[in-house]
Amino acid sequence: MARKKRKPGRRRSNGRRKARRFNIPWIKVALAAATLMAGYVAFLDFQVYRQFEGKRWSLPARVYARPLELYTGRRLAPAQFADELKALGYRFVGRPRRPGEVARNGSRFHLISRPFRFWDGQEPSHDLVVKFSAWGVERLRTGDDGRDVALARLDPMEIGSIHTARQEDRILLQLAEVPPLLVKALIAVEDRNFYNHHGVSPRAIARAMWANLRAGGVVQGGSTLTQQLVKNFFLTSQRSLWRKFNEAVMSLLLELRYDKDEILEAYINEIYLAQDGQRAIHGFGLGSRFYFQRPVGELTTAQLALLVGMVKGPSYYNPRRHPERALQRRNLVLRIMREQGIISRAQEQQARHEGLGLVGSVEGTSKTFPAFLDLVRRQLRRDYRESDLTSEGLKIFTTLDPQLQWALQKSLGDRIRAFSRTQPDLQGAALVTSAASGEVLALAGGREAGFAGFNRALDARRQVGSLIKPAVYLTALEQPHRYTLASLIDDGPLEIESGGELWQPENYDHQFHGRVLLYQGLAHSYNVASARLGLELGVEQVIRTLRRLGVSRPLRPYPSLFLGAAELSPLEVTQFYQTFASGGFHTPLRSIRAVLDADGQPLQRYPLTVQRVIEPAPALLITRALQLVVEEGTARSLASRFTADAGLAGKTGTTDDLRDSWYAGFDGERLAVVWLGRDDNQPMGLSGASGALQVWAALFRRTGVSALVPAAPETIEWHAVDRAGGGLADAGCGNTVQLPFVTGSVLPGPAACAGPGGWIRRLLR
Amino acid sequence: MRNLFVPLLLLSLAACGSAPKRYSPPVVDQSGAPPVTDALPQGEPLGQTAPAPRPAAGGSAVVALLDQAQARMRAGDPDAAAAVLERALRIEPRNARLWSQLAWVRLRQGLPAQAEQTALKSNALARADYRLQAANWRIIAKARWAQNDADRAVAAERRARDFEERGLREPARVQ
């Protein structure tokens, strides 16, 4: 990393030869002392060398959200785009000139994106004009010559780092990346003689004393940058003469071995600038991100001056806590810069009028997602040692979609707040995934999104209730010679003996509904009909189906399983429903796309894998049944809120005494699972439809839906069926439903309303 | 294998220029109404206004990524090609041709089991595109040979020939 300048020590061996000629006792003592001292200096030298040559800093793994892809036809609202750019620290200006700047004119954005190295290669900086229409990106062109651009990727939002308690965190900079203005300001303020001294500067000490006398307080320190670096780098903060001596010797040694630029670069990366909870913010690279949310190369003169000013006392001049003090310090730095001829008087005046320019958290667009990071960490721990994660500077690219995450947090938070008027202890959790790829796009572990606590999405295991029923109905529909969506099943009173006890399932409305169509048993979530169907199929058979669908937890083989006597976490439910949402393909849920090492080399990819676990025909039948849950069943309140051709599918779940409220639903592209309940498992008054479903609806209204149009295999034929009696309908029938049938399965007979004279029979009835 | 990759790619390019064909189950009377559920910006009421017709989700973006994937394959880097195709699938997750391309790449990556499953996924989305289904069955046959599953490989070859014949009877589905 660093080049050796020259070997110290020649002078020491000369001294030894001289000493041998004079055999006087006091010289012997001096010689012994000198030898000891030389040994000690060699020891210090070794320390300096080892620390500087080896890896100097252990770097926490950095975690990124998915990058925003821009292309014509992308669904995105201008306001969402603006939010994302703000969160990425883009500066809104009149005319963009540098990466990280954007000009907005209504629905037209002109920006210069930042270059970034991804797992699949380098994304260069783009000069882009993005034009939005009502539905999304209408046109994407280059800003300079107006050529159409097919696709561009923004730099990804950093959403966290993986560090140990009280660990230092930093973003390493090379000197070439540091704005010259910052270097000049730093030297002017901290060590004006930096390029001329040998590590310790008596002149600097004298000048600092003089400056401090003149200013009537401490405005300059006497330590050189080298001494400050040594102090931070090798020594404890204990104040003593011995430490001062060590500091001076090591500073001299450092200067002997390394050149000024190397020392400066180390200083820029080492300097302590802030405390962020358990994490210590070191170096101007991370300091810039921490306070201004943008790379150091994009800072204004005023912002650079603030960072330089904070070196003197990061907590005393903390601009978030003491803005007045920080402003005065910054303006002093600006004055010194002007006095030293680094900036002009006009530049100083302009910079003085700037605000501190700190980023707070923008309402609703916070960048801390502790619950999602929790999932990422758990997936990483399967493949990496903890020490590698906290020290090797890995880059972790995740699947998090900040737009969806913000929308989810807001939808969940708003609805729970509304319900809290009657249920103050209500909690909730939710996940959103991509239906095709199993990527986890958003995750909420509780009602307070920014709060790292009990992660209900991963760790709350709750009864799933009726959410389990699609597994029962799928088991039936996979036997097309026995069952179709129009088969009649019995929802009359049922008593069976299970485990020595009499079991009498009841419906939610405490009524029995007689003979119903098979799909209606699911759509209306009839317990008795579902239990009877499950008994016909056998509990072992249903458990085998659940295993195929991705439920791996041990399940009790009792009939109560048909009604959801199984405890799963929202994450496990999501994996289960993922199989339905992807049309019968099991797709492991993933929160990580790739991991790069500190040099940007791919270490590991987490590829997309699929496995077909439901044949195409039954996959279509169960999807249609889940669509009918929304069209006419327990989730029909959705039907009025979304257009009919959205084709939404889903299932409600409610447990005894209203302890758990579930909804799992999907459109053509995304699956979302929502759970509401209390941590102490007490009743909270909400069913799946009145609770979780409302959160789901709020989320999808906020983010928009894409039509679910399931692919029908060739072995499927469609028929209109009479809703009331289940027979095949014709034009004479009024109340019909279109159902798919596997070719060759036993079709129902003609409906009472169908055939010649059907309408007369209807009249007579 | 590479010989087949190029014509497949050309086919994909031809098909990707327009919106994926909407399949309409006979559920509700659609009477040619534009898809009004897609592409709604945040906070706007749904279904109350019909937005302007929307172009294919990511037509030219997907074409550009297919070019990239092809270049990576030519460079002998199927892992990189797979990463590019996965990126394309995030833009158009229901594009059967992309899944088919990925299935090919999985074969080249030495992952026959995944190649077979990915080709099945493509078939599930291919609707009445017989040529694409034929290509997918060829991939499945190769994948099964690679897994020493001769009987099922021969069966897959038979399916491929069936679809090839049907594809010849049908006009090319380039629309």
* Contact call for residues A700 and A724 (beta carbons, < 8 A): no
User: In angstroms, what separates the C-alpha of A359 from chain B's closest C-alpha?
Assistant: 24
Nearest partner of A470 among A536, A518, A503, judged by Cα:
A518
Report the chain B residue with the minimal C-alpha distance to residue A399. B90
- Contact yes or no for A585 and B121 at CB 8 A: yes
Listed range (A191-205, A433-447, B76-90, B99-113) with the worst mean pLDDT: A191-205
DSSP class of A95: S
Instruction: Find the CB nearest B93 among A434, A707, A711.
Output: A434
Nearest CA-CA distance, residue A78 and chain B, Å: 8
- Unique residue bearing structure tokens 């169960």: A622
What residues in chain A have per-residue pLDDT under 50?
1-19, 55, 361-363
> What does each C-alpha distance from A575 to A141, A437, A578, A582, B125 come to in angstroms?
39, 12, 5, 11, 21
Q: A246: which residues sit within 8 A by CB, 6+ positions away?
A: A44, A234, A235
CB contact under 8 A, B46 and A643: yes
Contact A151 B58 (CB under 8 A): yes
Residues of chain B contacting A647 with CB distance shorter than 8 Å: 27
* Shortest CA distance from A151: residue in chain B: B61
Structure tokens at A354: 């700037």
Cβ of B124 and A585 within 8 Å? Answer: yes
B61 and A718: CB-CB below 8 Å?
no
- Residue pLDDT, tens place only, A418-430: 999 998 899 999 9
Rounded to a whole number of angstroms, the CA Rg of chain B reads: 18
The shortest C-alpha distance from B59 to chain A (Å) reads: 8
Total Cβ atoms within 10 A of residue A40: 12
Q: CB neighbours (10 Å) of residue A217? A: 7
CB of A175 within 8 A of CB of A265? yes
Name the residue facing B47 among A120, A643, A713 (closest C-beta).
A643
Q: Which helix (H) or strand (E) holds B86?
A: helix B78-91
Supply the pLDDT for residue A220.
59
**Residue B7, min C-alpha distance to chain A (Å):** 22
pLDDT at residue B41, as a whole number: 32
pLDDT of residue A22: 55
- Taking CB atoms and an 8 Å limit, are A72 and B59 in contact across chains? yes
- Closest chain A residue to B56 measured between Cα atoms? A73
Do B108 and B47 form a contact (C-beta atoms < 8 A)? no
Query: Does B23 contact A711 at a Cβ distance shorter than 8 Å?
Result: yes
Instruction: Label residue B171 by pLDDT band (50, 70, 90).
Output: low
Q: Kindly list the residues from chain A whose CB atom is less than 8 angstroms away from the CB atom of residue B21.
A: none
Nearest-CA distance A711 → chain B (Å): 6
Catalytic annotation present for A466 = yes
What ipTM was assigned to the predicted interfaces of this complex?
A: 0.83
CA distance A606 to B79: 11
Using a CB-CB cut-off of 8 Å, the residues of chain B touching A133 are 51-52
Nearest to A605 among B37, B83, B120 (CB): B83
Distance from CA of A718 to the nearest CA of B (A): 7
Using a CB-CB cut-off of 8 Å, the residues of chain B touching A704 are 37-42, 46
Kindly determine whether residue A134 and residue B52, on different chains, have CB atoms separated by under 8 Å. Answer: yes
Q: Which of A608, A630, A737 should we substitute to test contact with B (largest number of B Cβ atoms within 10 Å)?
A: A608
The answer to whether the Cβ–Cβ distance between B102 and A710 falls below 8 Å is no
Q: Which amino acid is at A516?
A: V
- Selected catalytic residue, list A113, A466, A569, A582: A466
Q: Which of A712, A696, A703 is nearest to A629 (CA)?
A: A696
Which residue among A73, A439, A707 sits closest to B58, beta carbon to beta carbon? A73
Q: Smallest Cβ distance to B94: which of A79, A148, A436?
A: A436
What pLDDT was estimated at residue A450? Answer: 67
Name, in order, each residue with C-beta under 8 angstroms of A44's C-beta and a sequence gap of 6 or more. A246, A249, A250, A253
Residue of chain A whose alpha carbon sits nearest to that of B127? A711
Asked if B57 and A74 come within 8 Å (Cβ–Cβ), the reply is: yes
Q: B-chain residues within 8 Å CB-CB of A583?
A: 124-125
| Candidates B51, B89, B124; nearest CB to A711 | B124
Sequence-distant (6+) residues with CB within 8 A of A460 are A429, A454, A569, A570, A675, A677, A679
> Which of A439, A710, A718 is the closest to B26 by Cβ?
A718
Contact B41 A77 (CB under 8 A): yes
Is A150 close to B60, i.e. CB distance below 8 A? yes
To test the contact with chain A by mutation, choose from B29, B37, B127 the residue with the greatest count of A C-beta atoms within 10 A, namely B37
Check residue B122 and give its pLDDT. 97
Contact residues on chain A for B56, CB-CB shorter than 8 A: 73
Reply yes or no on whether the pLDDT at B139 is more than 80: yes
Can you name the residues that pair with A109 across neighbouring β-strands?
A: A104, A130
Q: Do B90 and A712 touch (CB under 8 A)?
A: no
Yes or no, beta carbons of A703 and B89 under 8 Å apart: no
* Inter-chain CB proximity A712 and B23 less than 8 Å: yes
Cβ contacts below 8 Å, chain A against chain B, sum to: 174
Consecutive H or E run containing B130: helix B130-146
Q: What is the pLDDT of residues A655-708, one digit of tens each?
A: 999 999 999 999 999 999 999 999 999 999 999 999 999 999 999 999 999 999
Long-range residue pairs from A543-549, CB within 8 A, at least 24 positions apart, any chain: A545/A471, A545/A472, A545/A474, A545/A475, A545/A478, A546/A468, A546/A471, A546/A576, A548/A579, A548/A586, A548/A613, A548/A614, A549/A471, A549/A474, A549/A576, A549/A579, A549/A580, A549/A586, A549/A613, A549/A614
- Report the residue from B38, B80, B82 with minimal CB separation from A706: B38
Which among B128, B69, B125, B77 is positioned nearest to B101, based on CA atoms? B69
Q: Is A190 one of the catalytic residues?
A: yes
DSSP A464: -
Residues B24-51 pLDDT 10s: 333 333 333 333 333 333 333 333 333 3
Residues in Cβ contact with A455 at an 8 Å cutoff, skipping those fewer than 6 apart: A371, A374, A375, A429, A445, A446
8 Å CB contact of A437 and B58: no
Backbone angles phi, psi at A369, to 5 degrees: -125, 70
What are the chain B neighbours of A135 within 8 Å (beta carbons)?
38-41, 51-52, 54
The pLDDT > 70 percentage for chain B reads 64
Task: Give the chain B residue nearest A72 (alpha carbons).
Answer: B58
Nearest to A271 by CA among A192, A174, A201, A170: A170
> Closest approach of chain A CAs to the CA of B138, in angstroms?
18
Angle subtended at Cα A188 by Cα A185 and Cα A192, rounded to the nearest 5 degrees: 145
Q: A585: distance to nearest CA of chain B, Å? A: 8
Q: Convert the pLDDT of each residue in A388-419 to its tens digit.
A: 888 888 999 999 999 999 999 999 999 999 99
